[in-house]
Chain A
Amino acid sequence: MTSIDVSREQFRLSMLLYDTRYRSLTIQVVAMIALMSAAAWLVNNTVENLSALGKDFSFRFLGQRAGYDISQTLIPYTNDDTHARAALVGIVNTLLVAFVGCLLATAIGVTMGVLRLSRNWIVARLAAVYVDGFRNIPVLLWILATMAVITDTAPAPSAFRGDNATASMIFGSVAVTNRGVYVPWPIFGPGWQIVVGTFLLSVIAILVFGRWAKARQDATGQILPTFWIKLGLFVLPVLIADQIAGRPISLDYPELQRFNFEGGGFLDKSFIALTLALSLYTGAFIAEAVRAGIQAISRGQSEAAAALGLRSGRIMSLVILPQALRVIIPPLISQYLNLTKNSSLAIAVGYADVRATLGGITMNQTGRELECMLLLMGFYLILSLLISGTMNWYNARVALKER
C-alpha cells in the first residue's frame, strides 16, 4: 500500500491568469470594476455638467402649477393642477391605449391567425396579405396613415348643420367627425345602484352556472345549451331591474352646438387612430404567433378528436387551442409589451399620453429633461414588468403540468 501525498500547491499571482480555476473569477472582477467605474464616471459627468450649467437635480417642479390644458382627461384636471397631476392624466391615457390596444390586438390576431390556416384559398390569402402588410411597415407610418385617413375622410362637425347637411349621424345618435367620434353616453340617475348590482349578480350567476354545467357534463356526459342560457342570464335580469327601478340609467345624446357636438361621450380621433393602428400592427404579429401555436399541435390530435365525433369548432376550442396556448403565450407577452411601449408614439398624432404630458409639455416648460426622462423610464419599466409578471403567471397556469 502506498499512500499518495497530496501536497498543497503554493498560490502564485500568475495563477489568476493562467489557472482555469481562478481565471473566470479574475475576468469577472476586472469587468465589474470597469463597469462600476464607467457608471461612476457617467454619474459624475452628469452632476458636473449640470452644475456647470447652473442646474440642480430636483423633483420640486412636480408640485408647481402646470398651466396647460390636456385634450383628453379621464380623471378631473384643470390647468390649475400640478405637473404631477398632469403626468398622472398622461399615465391614465397611456394605460387606456395599452389596455384597449391589447384587447383589440388579441381579438384581431387570434381571428387572423386562425383564418390564415383556413382551407378557403381567398380567406387564407387575405389574412396573409394583412399579416405581411402590417408587419413589414413601421408602426409610426400606420399611425400617421390612420390619422390622415380619419382627418381627410370624415366630415367636419359643420357638415352636420343645416337643412341640406352633407353628413348625418349614424342611427341618429353617433356622429363620426374628423375630430373624433361622438357617442351616446349613459347618465346614472338615482337608483342606478340597483341596476348595476343586478348586473354584477348576473355575471356571478353566469360563472357559477358555467362551473355547474361543466361538472354536470363531466358526470353525466350531457351537454346543456350553455351559450343561450348565459346570454339570457346576462341580459334579462338587468332589463327587468331597470324597469323596476324606474329606468334610472338613461343615455345622453351628443347634439351639435355652435362649434362642436356637446354632450354624450367623445372619442378623440388621436385616440382612435393610435389605438387602431397599434392594434392592427401588433395584431399581425399575434396572428403569426397564433398560427405557429396551432401548427405546433400535431395533426394526430385533431384526427383523434374527429374520430371521437367532435365537430370542427369544438376540436379547435377544446383540443387545439388549449394546447396551442402554451406555445402562443410567451410571444404574446412580448407583443403586449411592444404595444405598450409603442404607445409612446402617441405624440405623432397629438394624443396626450404620459410621453406627451410629462415627457413633452412639462419637460419643455420646466426644462427638467433629466428628471422627466428618468421618471418616464421608471414608469415604462414598472408597467412592462407588471404586464410580463401577470402574463408569466398566466403562462405558468396553462403550461403543461409534468408530473
Chain B
Amino acid sequence: MTKIKAFIGPAVFLTFAAGAATAGTLGDVKGRDVLKCGVNTGFAGFAYPDSSGRWQGFDVAICRAVAAAVLGDQDKIEFVPTTGETRFTALTSGEIDVLPRNTTWTFTRDVDLKFTFAGVNYYDGQGFMVRKDLGVTSAKELDGATICVQTGTTTELNLADYFKTQGISYQPVPIQTPAEADQQFLGGACDAYTTDASQLATQRGTYPNPADYIILPEIISKEPLGPVVRQGDDEWADVVRWTYNALVAAEEYGVTKKNIDEMSSSENPEVRRLLGTEGDLGRMLGLDADWAKRAIAANGNYGEIFAETIGVGTPANIERGLNALWINGGLQYSPPFR
C-alpha cells in the first residue's frame, strides 16, 4: 500500500503543476514580477556573469530591456543558463519566458518546433578558427582535420553540409559549452573550432595570445540570431519584438541613455510616439506609456549596447558590418512606430 500511496502523491502533484502554465506569458511575467530569461552558460561579450555575479552582455541586454519595459526594473530577471541542447526544451516547457541566446532563425525552428523569432539582433555567419602555426589559410584545406563543434546547433549541420559539398572529410568533436570548446581547442585536441564568427571573435579575445589564432575567410552559412518565444502567444511576442525594435529605432533617431529625457520633448512625432509623450502605443501592447523609454534607459539604444559589449575596442572587437543600421548600409531596421 505504501508504495502505491508514495506513487500517487508525486503523480497528482505533477498533473497539477503541468496544468498550470496556460495563461498568457505577459500576465504570467507581471504576476510573478520577474522575467525568466534563458541565456548562454557563459559566453564573453554576449551573456556572462561579471566578477560581481551580475549577468552582462549583448544578449542579456535584450532581457534587461524587456524587463525594464514590462516590470519597470531591468534587474527583475531570473537568468536560466542553457546549453545548445537544453534551450528549446526549457522554452517549450515554460521554464523560461524568452530565449535571447544566439539562436539561429531557421524554417524548422520557426514552423515545426513551434517557436516565434521576435527579430534578429545579430546577423552572423559560421566560420572556422585555427592556430596560426598550423599554416592553414582556407577552410578547404581542412581535409582530415579534427574539428570542435557545439552539439545541438545549426553549426553542426552546416559543418556536415560544407564538408560534404567540398568532398573532404573531418573528425567531429562534439562539445557542450564555449568554455569546453576553449579547453579542447587551446589544448590542441582539435585542429579547428567552428561556430558563429561573432563567437569565434569574442572567444579569441579572451585567449592569452589572441594573435596566435586566425579566423579563416570562409563564412559557410547565414546565421540570423535573435530572441525566441513560444509560438501562439502573439501578445508576448509583440512585447519582445517591439522592445527590440524600440532599441533599434532609438539609435536611428539619436535617442541615447544620456539624452533620453530631453528627447521626450523632441519635435519629431515618431520620437514622441516612441517615448510615450504622444499617442498610446504602450497601452496597445498591454504596458504603460513609458515602456520604451525605460527599455532604452536601461542600457542605451542598440548602438550603445553593441559598442559597450562586443564592439570595436572591447575584447571581442567586432565591427558593426551587417549589423549597422540600414541608413549606414547594414541590415538593422525597425518598422515605424506609428
- How far apart sit A156 and B152, CA to CA, in the bound complex (Å)? 26
In the complex, the answer to whether B174 meets A34 with C-beta atoms within 8 Å is no
In the complex, the answer to whether B191 meets A259 with C-beta atoms within 8 Å is yes
Q: Please encode chain B, from 1 to 30, with 1 for each CB lying within 8 Å of some chain A CB and 0 for all others.
A: 100110110011011001100100000000
In the complex, the answer to whether A260 meets B144 with C-beta atoms within 8 Å is yes
In the complex, the answer to whether B85 meets A364 with C-beta atoms within 8 Å is yes
In the complex, the answer to whether A365 meets B157 with C-beta atoms within 8 Å is yes
B317 on the interface (CB 8 Å rule)?
no
The A-contacting residues of B in range 154-168, CB under 8 angstroms, are: 156-157, 159-161, 164
In the complex, the answer to whether A260 meets B171 with C-beta atoms within 8 Å is yes
B236 on the interface (CB 8 Å rule)?
no
Q: Please encode chain B, from 124 to 148, with 1 for each CB lying within 8 Å of some chain A CB and 0 for all others.
A: 0000000000100000001111100
- How far apart sit A167 and B58, CA to CA, in the bound complex (Å)? 43
Given contacts A70-B172, A365-B108, contact A269 B85 (CB under 8 A): no
In the complex, the answer to whether B92 meets A53 with C-beta atoms within 8 Å is yes
Report the minimal beta-carbon distance from A31 to chain B, rounded to whole angstroms: 5
- How far apart sit A46 and B92, CA to CA, in the bound complex (Å)? 13
In the complex, the answer to whether A151 meets B174 with C-beta atoms within 8 Å is no
- Among listed B63-71, B182-190, B206-214, B322-330, interface-contacting one: B182-190
Could you say which of A39, A49, A259, A269 contacts B145, with CB atoms under 8 Å apart?
A259
The B-contacting residues of A in range 250-286, CB under 8 angstroms, are: 257-260, 262, 269
Q: How many residues of B contact A (CB 8 A)?
A: 54
In the complex, the answer to whether A45 meets B15 with C-beta atoms within 8 Å is yes
In the complex, the answer to whether B11 meets A42 with C-beta atoms within 8 Å is yes
A347 on the interface (CB 8 Å rule)?
yes
Specify which chain A residues have a CB less than 8 angstroms from the CB of B266 in the assembled complex: none
Specify which chain B residues have a CB less than 8 angstroms from the CB of A189 in the assembled complex: none
Given contacts A53-B232, A356-B151, contact A31 B108 (CB under 8 A): no
The B-contacting residues of A in range 171-208, CB under 8 angstroms, are: 178-179
Could you say which of A41, A54, A156, A347 contacts B114, with CB atoms under 8 Å apart?
A54
Residue of A nearest to B10 (CB): A38
Report the minimal beta-carbon distance from A262 to chain B, rounded to whole angstroms: 7
Q: Please encode chain A, from 158 to 180, with 1 for each CB lying within 8 Å of some chain B CB and 0 for all others.
A: 10000000000000000000110
Report the minimal beta-carbon distance from A153 to chain B, rounded to whole angstroms: 10
A27, A53, A262, A364 interface centre (most CB from chain B within 10 Å): A364
Specify which chain A residues have a CB less than 8 angstroms from the CB of B146 in the assembled complex: 179, 259-260
B175 on the interface (CB 8 Å rule)?
yes
A68 on the interface (CB 8 Å rule)?
yes
B264 on the interface (CB 8 Å rule)?
no
Give chain A's interface residue range (CB within 8 Å of chain B). Answer: 35 or more
Specify which chain B residues have a CB less than 8 angstroms from the CB of A339 in the assembled complex: none
In the complex, the answer to whether A361 meets B151 with C-beta atoms within 8 Å is yes
In the complex, the answer to whether B151 meets A269 with C-beta atoms within 8 Å is no
Specify which chain B residues have a CB less than 8 angstroms from the CB of A27 in the assembled complex: 1
Report the minimal beta-carbon distance from B7 to chain A, rounded to whole angstroms: 7
- How far apart sit A38 and B13, CA to CA, in the bound complex (Å)? 10
A69, A350, A360 interface centre (most CB from chain B within 10 Å): A69
In the complex, the answer to whether B189 meets A178 with C-beta atoms within 8 Å is yes
Specify which chain A residues have a CB less than 8 angstroms from the CB of B89 in the assembled complex: 369
Report the minimal beta-carbon distance from B176 to chain A, rounded to whole angstroms: 7
B231 on the interface (CB 8 Å rule)?
yes
In the complex, the answer to whether A71 meets B172 with C-beta atoms within 8 Å is yes
- How far apart sit A269 and B146, CA to CA, in the bound complex (Å)? 13
Given contacts A49-B18, A53-B114, A67-B161, contact A260 B189 (CB under 8 A): no
In the complex, the answer to whether B189 meets A151 with C-beta atoms within 8 Å is yes
Report the minimal beta-carbon distance from A213 to chain B, rounded to whole angstroms: 49
Q: Which 4 A-B pairs have the closest CB atoms?
A: A156-B188, A367-B113, A364-B152, A350-B174
Q: Which residues of A contact B (CB under 8 A)?
A: 27, 31, 34-35, 38-39, 41-42, 45-46, 49, 52-55, 67-71, 79, 148, 151-152, 156, 158, 178-179, 257-260, 262, 269, 347-348, 350, 352, 356, 360-361, 363-367, 369
Contact sample, A vs B, 8 pairs, CB 8 Å cutoff:
A42-B11, A53-B114, A53-B232, A151-B187, A152-B187, A350-B151, A350-B180, A361-B174
